[in-house]
Amino acid sequence: MPSDHDTILALIAETGGAGLAEQVRFIIEVDRLKGIVRQSPVIGADRNETDAEHTWHIAMMAVVLSGFASETVDVMRAVRMLLVHDLVEIDAGDTFLYSSPEVHAAQEIAERAAADRIFGLLPGGQGAELRALWDEFEAHETPDAHFARTMDRLQPFLLNVFSDGIGWRKHGVRASQVRTRMRVVADGSAELHTLVERLIDLSVARGYLADG
């Protein structure tokens, strides 16, 4: 952290208390989510989206698609979970959804360390609450986590479908890989999972996605 940031944060602590200074430090730190570039395209643009853009988009999707949740969900609690779900990538980076199991296992360890550090910037009770939401998202056991995960998986899928499969074609992704990865969508929404299956068929037919 630059030394001028320390000076500013000291003034904030003096004016609004140590808790506020910790919260502003967290707010400044998580600005770095805008620097994490994902593998998913921005539709019609010659670049990929950032994690911050992705997070806004899935929060917006959760509001719009809440009627399709298979279980009873607290949509705004799912949104709260989504707002923090990718913060760990500030330290751990983004892993492409179709990487090897080894890559995913190493990523999981790095993400837990990142969660300790980043949520640890906040005052105790607040840091613990948001960390618990992140843990809940990762555990994928509750209705809110199921629905949140459904949005998180559906969004890059839709971006690819509406961009002629540009991300899939670049990585040579096959339909069977997408079907496997998208199975968790069914935990949050049976109807949206049915839609995904149909859109995979269409994507193969149109050459967005390799068959088999």
Site of interaction with a second copy (CB under 8 A): 4-5, 7-8, 11-12, 15-16, 20, 23-24, 26-28, 30-35, 42-45, 49-50, 52-53, 55-57, 59-61, 63-65, 68, 76-77, 79-80, 83-84, 122, 126, 130, 158-159, 161-162, 164, 191-192, 194-195, 198-199, 202, 206
Are the CB atoms for 185 and 154 separated by under 8 Å? yes
In the complex with a second copy, the residue whose CB is nearer, 4 or 102, is: 4
Q: Which two tokens stand for residue 11?
A: 């003034």
> Strand, coil or helix: what is 210?
strand
In the complex with a second copy, the residue whose CB is nearer, 128 or 202, is: 202
- Closest approach of a second copy to the CB of residue 34, in Å: 5
- Closest approach of a second copy to the CB of residue 198, in Å: 5
Listed in order, strand segments (DSSP E) in the chain are: 37-41, 48-50
Sign of the torsion angle spanned by Cα atoms 11, 14, 16, 19: positive
Q: State the alpha helices, DSSP H only, in 120-174.
A: 124-139, 143-161, 166-171
Q: Which two tokens stand for residue 32?
A: 């770095």
In the complex with a second copy, the residue whose CB is nearer, 18 or 63, is: 63
